[in-house]
Amino acid sequence: MRPNKKALFIILVILAFLATVHFLGRDSSNPKQQPTAVVAGSGVTTKPSFDKQQYPLSQASSLWVVVNKGRQLPKTYVPANLTVPNVSLRLSSGSPEMEVRSDTAQAMQEMFAGAAEQGIKLMLASGYRSYTEQVSLYDGYVASDGKAAADASSAHPGFSEHQTGLAADLEPANRVCEVAQCFDATPEGKWLVANAYKYGFIIRYPKDKEDLTGYEYEPWHVRYVGKDLAAQINQTGQTLERFFGLPNYVDYSATPFQLRSD
């Protein structure tokens, strides 16, 4: 018996319609959804929590190393991949203080370019500082301002983030409010606090957090931690220490924790 062509056509149309309905019934609004975790026995799914153990906190070369008044870097530690970023520099490119780690340099170049697109012109004021250079700098502050004032704004040798190559002091290219708290009122300072995290940087010593960081407010001092952690810090408003549940050190009275150089 030969099939009825009209009936066959109708059947094919119906099958195509059913296939379309099945496809549209799927969640096509987010085809690449993030992995979810199921809470046992609850039937509730949640996004996985941020992994705070991606990088060690006590290794000098780690992206997330935490250096403060209670966590000391080895005296001889020097980052292995220092380079001069292709950005506006306060000093000659031959000055070691214009160097930062290569990953920090790349992120800094992207950030400066992003700022320039919005008419914001930044400059690198200070990057890497060796242990020896920090000795000279800190002693100079003590001589001019006294020890108490120096400790509020400058790290003891071995306790400075600058020695990691991950920290930098930034300023406007016109040098207005250079390494001063009024920097936060400049267009450059306002842009930095609103956008630094997008490029992997945090304002390391935030306003009104002196009792947690041990340092006065430094809107010019940024620290590279990578985009993932920077987004977390920006969202929670926590200091680096508080985010990781580490002790706060507001002075140097405690026996310092020695960070590893390997």
Residue 260 domain-assigned?
A: no
Collect the ranges in the chain with pLDDT lower than 70: 1-47
Residue 176 lies in a domain: yes
Q: How many domains does the chain have?
A: 1
Q: What pLDDT digit, counting tens, does each position of 60-114 carry? A: 999 999 999 999 999 999 999 999 999 999 999 999 999 999 999 999 999 999 9
* Structural domain includes residue 54: no
Indicate whether 66 belongs to any domain: no
Q: Is 197 left (phi over 0), alpha (psi -120 to 50) or beta?
A: alpha
Residue 225 lies in a domain: yes
Give the pLDDT confidence score for residue 9 in this predicted structure: 56
Query: How far apart, in whole angstroms, are the C-alpha atoms of residue 224 and residue 209?
Result: 19
Does some domain include residue 9? Answer: no
Provide Rg for the chain, Cα atoms.
26
pTM (2 d.p.): 0.82
Q: Give, in degrees to the nearest 5, the angle at Cα 64 between 215 and 37.
A: 120
Would you call 62 exposed, middle or buried from its count of C-beta atoms within 10 A (0-12, 13-18, 19+)?
middle
The span from the CA of 198 to the CA of 194, in Å, is 9
Q: Is 218 a catalytic residue?
A: yes
Task: Indicate which residue of 161, 171, 188, 218 is catalytic.
Answer: 218
Q: For residue 26, is it within any domain? A: no
> Is position 34 within any domain?
no
The domain that holds 164 is classified in CATH as 3.30.1380.10
Domain that includes residue 241, residue range: 71-255
